[in-house]
Amino acid sequence: MKKIIALAFVAATFVQCSTVPITGRQRFNMVSDAEVLPASFAQYQGFLKENKISKDVTKTNQVKRVGKKIAAAVDRFMRANGMEAEADAYKWEFNLVEDKTVNAWCLPGGKVVFYTGIMPICANEDGVAAVMGHEIAHAFAKHGQERMSTGQLQQLGGLAVALGTRNSKNAQLWNTAYGIGSQVGVMLPFSRTHETEADKLGLVFMLMAGYRGEEAAEIWVRMSQQSGSQSAPPEFLSTHPSNESRIETLRAYLPQARAEAAKYGIASKN
């Protein structure tokens, strides 16, 4: 049984690997759009019903305007790279909700929410575009599906070892070690990889939409200033890269992002 599960693990990994456009990273995904999108759309509608939509017309219109421009850039990229089916599957929607949390997110299929708490950090329309590009990039690169797939493999791997462990005490000890090992050695660095990848992809998309790429790094400068002296965990134990790392990465990647964006045309900002 252990050998069968191990072979299934290897076979699934081999078959389900693909390449993230632009970054070229190999990703693993066992979850199809057909499985995840209906749930994503339903979850989004449920969230909107349970949360207060912002009545700030100016900021709401800004979020929607920027979202449409970034979405158009992503759509242009996908259709230029033979991803028409994926482009057609997106049902773009952008909303601003009343919540002091500094946050924004994009569900699979293009369902985006900004919280009012992040708007001061955005500071301007280019800042909104930087956040928008980053969040949409998570959906574009299928990071959510990849995390789900990795979770499935963790369960499969855990089952394989447990089946070969006759001593229940040893199995319990192994499960504890496996949880710690997977958290520090796999899941957290994996999440940091996603964040860095979304930073880079988002930078390309905001440039394609006609926004100032320099603002992507400035978002994290302002985030650092707001954090002030608040303590933060060491980067290797954090799910996100440190603000300083993101600033450095985004500034270093800007010339390459501009070259990539230029391949697909730069839209007018206005």
Q: Quick check: is 103 in a domain? A: yes
Amino acid 176: pLDDT? 38
Mean pLDDT rounded to a whole number for the chain: 82
Higher pLDDT among residues 89 and 170, named by residue: 89
Q: Quick check: is 269 in a domain? A: no
Given a cut of 80, is residue 72 above it in pLDDT?
Answer: yes
**Which residue shows structure tokens 């958290």?**
183
Q: Quick check: is 57 in a domain? A: yes
Q: Which domain holds residue 195?
A: 2-262
What does the pLDDT look like over 2-42, one tens digit per residue? Answer: 444 444 444 444 446 889 999 999 987 877 888 889 989 99
Q: Which residues pair with 115 in a beta bridge?
A: 97
> How does residue 195 score in pLDDT terms, banded at 50, 70 and 90?
very high
Question: Are 194 and 28 in contact, with CB atoms under 8 Å apart?
Answer: no
What does the pLDDT look like over 207-234, one tens digit per residue? Answer: 999 999 999 999 999 998 887 645 565 5
Q: Quick check: is 268 in a domain? A: no
Q: How many domains is the chain partitioned into structurally?
A: 1
Amino acid 189: pLDDT? 55
Amino acid 24: pLDDT? 93
Q: Quick check: is 72 in a domain? A: yes
Q: Is 220 exposed, middle or buried (0-12, 13-18, 19+ CB in 10 A)?
A: buried
Instruction: Determine the average pLDDT of the residues in 112-132.
Output: 97
**Which residue shows structure tokens 């049902």?**
91
Amino acid 180: pLDDT? 38
Given a cut of 70, is residue 50 above it in pLDDT?
Answer: yes
Q: Quick check: is 125 in a domain? A: yes
